[in-house]
Amino acid sequence: MTYAASIAAAPVIREPLHAPVAQLVRGGVVEGVHYGSVVVLAADGSVDLQIGDIEAAFYPRSALKPVQAVAMLRAGLPLDGELLSLAAASHSGEERHLAGTRRILELAGVTEDDLRNVPDLPYDPVVRDVWIREGRLPSRLAQNCSGKHAAMLMTARLNGWSLDDYLDPGHPLQQAIAEIVEDLTGQAIAQVTVDGCGAPLFSVSLHGLARAAARITTAPAGTPEARVADAMREHAEMASGSGRDVAALMRAVPGLLTKDGFEGVQMAALPDGRAVAVKIADGADRARGPVAAAALARAGVAPALLAEFGSVPLLGGGAVVGGLRPTRALDPLSG
């Protein structure tokens, strides 16, 4: 461990003390409330805003993929551009994603049969419906983490590491990833479990996730961190999908890097180090986007750039009768 001197203790595993972060309003009445936690970091790394519990251990889920991609680059992965973005992706299962994953596997000298992620249908509902109509079955290639898994296989192959057990937490690849998770978050890992795709999942704090996002976007040009940020920003649809809100957000806000994750997680950071991280307690994806947009506004992003992301309309009888909005604690202008 070459970075141990700067690593703080692991966050405490406890029930997070979440707070209200979003309201569902119908006809002027609050119909529902989403709890969660939010942290906004200033460019110097200090905490500008915190709501809820930003220090408890939690699982960043796929919001940690840019960090995993940095670790693989540090271990010798030679990808850039679209394929590097795909290595950090939770992709939608579009043909470009499948073709890119096949290309990584080809470069690694392995096949789809070597993947150890779980078979699934494409994540995008439109693409998934087409698959079902065509009678296509779930596959490891279509599963939204296949780009990351292909990159893991390539990294393992280049280093002479075994392939069959590349998902074992004790495997050299996963140990290398864990080291970089601790380096970029600035804290020890609290717990290791298994993510939905089968890869090891590392528990840190929401504060640590925001620090990692800032570290990636402020890194000097040409470093593994900067290469990941550049690839994801320049090829946002490869890191997600053509209809995904995180891709649209990176197109709308110059220099922004953002990545979402299951269970209501999102991180985002700007090139000057301003960063945010969001966790929605009930895992509701509908609250994630508006809360992240409000956090970015609190970080200083021009509200006009965030207008399309700040709320979710609520329909009644086919007409808009309300919407989901951030709470006043997060967005003083809401309500």
With cut-offs at 50, 70 and 90, classify the pLDDT of residue 6.
Answer: confident
Three-point CA angle 221, 80, 91, nearest 5°: 120
Element (H, E) at 178: helix 172-185
pLDDT at 3 > cutoff 60: no
Q: Could you read off the pLDDT of 87-132 as tens digits, one per residue?
A: 999 999 999 999 999 999 999 999 999 999 999 999 999 999 999 9
- pLDDT reading at 242 higher than 50: yes
Segment 33-57, tens digit of pLDDT: 999 999 999 999 999 999 999 999 9
Going by the DSSP 8-state scheme, the letter that residue 224 receives in this structure is H
Residue 138, pLDDT above cutoff 80:
yes
Give the pLDDT confidence of 174-212 residue by residue, as tens digits: 999 999 999 999 999 999 999 999 999 999 999 999 999
Measure CA 133 to chain center. 30
| pTM of structure | 0.95
Mean pLDDT, the chain, integer: 95
For 201, the token pair is 């999942």
Q: How crowded is the C-beta side of 110, counted as CA atoms within 13 Å?
A: 23
